[in-house]
Every structure is written in structure tokens, then in C-alpha cells.
Amino acid sequence: MMNPDLGQTITGKIIDENDKAYFVQKEGRTYQMNKVTLTSDQQKLQKGDNVTGFAYENEKHQLIITMNTPHIGFNHFGLGEVVETRHDLGVFVNIGLPDKDIVVSMDDLPLMSSVWPHRGDHLRIALRVDKKGRLWGIPADANYYQKRAKTATEDMKNADIVGLVYQTKKAGTYVVTKDHYLGFIHPSERDGEPRLGETVKARVIGLHPDGSLNLSLRPRAYEVISDDAAMVLAILIRTPGHTMNYDDKSAPEKIKAYFGISKSAFKRALGHLLKQRLIIEADGKTSLTDAGVERANALNEADTDDQD
């Protein structure tokens, strides 16, 4: 017979105790309340006292009541951390219970298991109960986020944002920020498809008429730089006056001897840097611009961080 108390906040009476737990009865069912989860004041409870807590069945199929009510419930969505993925069942989400994780069924996950959440990802879920009285998690749908969404403003263009993937579709990826802005990532603006529940760092490339953000996971143009161009910047930042006696008209053999690359590769690197206004060429010399100095220093700092 299905237990209607599971997943609910109930009140029962303490009928017994031992060193590890109180035993709480409600309508003929006996629940354990583990003392290790209680505060020192709560551990002073006595037989005959009424207690209120969240009722559930743990992994050992024991009936448990806890005063540490989880922030996720029926019709009450909250974020939980994914602790395990099983492709034959779904994903297990920690909602704060010490001896039970909640399963989100594979039926409520994307068809492609490649975009299922991984351990450490987060899902916003509520609880549901099946006909056998088992608790499951159900992810919040698009309607949930749209009802709570804020309208994006013009000053958000080109901003960096952090968002949580809440829906994956063939058309693209949908994310929500902690401030309740919604965003969309078109497949052309990503190298791979993010997972449901994954946290992504993106940049705003536009605003949609409905008030949501158009996002990209691709770096800004000035953040994309070839290895040869990065080498030229590294040499220039270490050269007195940030100027070298080479330009795109220098002899191929001199370029090869000094830079170790062909003249065509050198010219491509210079062209890339010129387009981004990181260098200027004049009188057979190449010099860093102020933006070039800033970019070269940033690359140098990034290399140092990687070595650390």
C-alpha cells in the first residue's frame, strides 16, 4: 500500500528511542529520527513528544523522518547537485538528505545521453511520487524559467555571463543566469553541445525581442590569436621600445633564421596582428601599439599562470 506521507512534512509522536535514534509513529507507521542529524537541544526530546519533519524512505528502505527539511519538495523547485549518472536509469541528485539521493528518470532527460548531466552539474528539480509511492525528481521546464525571467537591457551587450543549461534542443542550448536572465546559444556559436545542468561561461552577442539574450561560447575576435602571432607578440614585448627591425618585406632567410617560420607564415601572423590593431609597421620596422602591449602582457600572464 502506498505511503502518502513520503516526501511530505508530517507530525508524529515519539514512542521509543535508543542511542542512535528516536522512533516516531504516525497512523501506525514508525519512522526513525537519527540523533546524529539533530542539534543538542533537539536531542533532549522525550517519549511522548510530538515532532515535525520530512518523511522519506532511505536507500535501505527504512522509513525516516528528519527535521532538516530539504529545500526541494512537491511543486517546490530547488537546485540539487548531480552525484551519479546511470544510463539505464537516469541521474541521481543530492537534495540534502544524508542517506538518499533523488533519481531523475531517463524519461525526463534528453533523448541523447551525451548531453545528460555529469557528476558536479546541477539540476533544478521538484519531487513527484509514482503509483508505488517512490520519490522521483522532475526538472523544471521552460515555462518555469520564463515566468521568472528578467528582461535583458542594452548595456548587457558584449558582457560576460555565467549560466546554467536548463534545456537542450536541436535548435540550440537554453541557459539561465543566477539573476534570472534567459539566454540562447545557437549551434553555430559553440564548438560542442553543452550538457543539461552544466555551468557555462558565455558572452552576450545580442538581445532577442522577447527580452532574452543571444549568447556565444566562442571567444571574441581579439581573444583568438595564432601561435605564430603570439610568438611575434612575445618577442616584441621583450624587445627594447617594443620595436623590431622586421616587417612583411623582410628577407625570407632572415625571417627563418630569427623566427623559425616561413615568410608566408610570418606575413599571416603580422596581418592578423595588424587587423586587430596590435602592431604598426613603418620604415621597415614593426612596433606594438598600446593595445598590443596590453595583449602581449595578458598572454604572458596567462602563460605564467599555466606554468604555476
Read out DSSP for 176-202? Answer: EETT-BEEEE-GGG-SSPPPTT-EEEE
Question: Residue 166 domain-assigned?
Answer: yes
Q: What percent of the chain has pLDDT over 70?
A: 95
End-of-domain residue from the set 192, 218, 244: 218
Question: Residue 264 domain-assigned?
Answer: yes
The number of folded domains in the chain is: 4
Question: Residue 73 domain-assigned?
Answer: no
Residues 108 and 126 in one domain: yes
End-of-domain residue from the set 111, 140, 169: 140
Q: Please write the tens of the pLDDT for every residue from 97-123.
A: 989 999 999 999 999 999 999 999 999
Query: Domain holding 191: CATH number?
Result: 2.40.50.140
Question: Residue 274 domain-assigned?
Answer: yes
Question: In the prediction, which pLDDT does 79 show?
Answer: 97
Domain span at 91: 78-140
As given in the structure block, the three cell numbers for residue 12 are 508524529
**Crossing angle between the packed helical segments 227-238 and 290-307, to the nearest 10 degrees:** 100
Question: Rounded to whole angstroms, how far apart are CA atoms 26 and 8?
Answer: 13
pTM above 0.85, yes or no: no
Question: Residue 1 domain-assigned?
Answer: no
Looking at this protein, which amino acid is placed at residue 134?
R
Looking at the predicted structure, is the pLDDT value of residue 134 above 70?
yes
Question: Residue 3 domain-assigned?
Answer: no
Question: Residue 204 domain-assigned?
Answer: yes
Question: Residue 287 domain-assigned?
Answer: yes
Looking at the predicted structure, is the pLDDT value of residue 165 above 80?
yes
Residues 178 and 244 in one domain: no
Question: In the prediction, which pLDDT does 301 show?
Answer: 66
Looking at this protein, which amino acid is placed at residue 168?
T
Residues 235 and 265 in one domain: yes
Residues 154 and 213 in one domain: yes
End-of-domain residue from the set 201, 218, 235: 218
Query: Domain holding 35: CATH number?
Result: 2.40.50.330
Q: Please write the tens of the pLDDT for every residue from 139-161.
A: 999 999 999 999 999 999 989 99
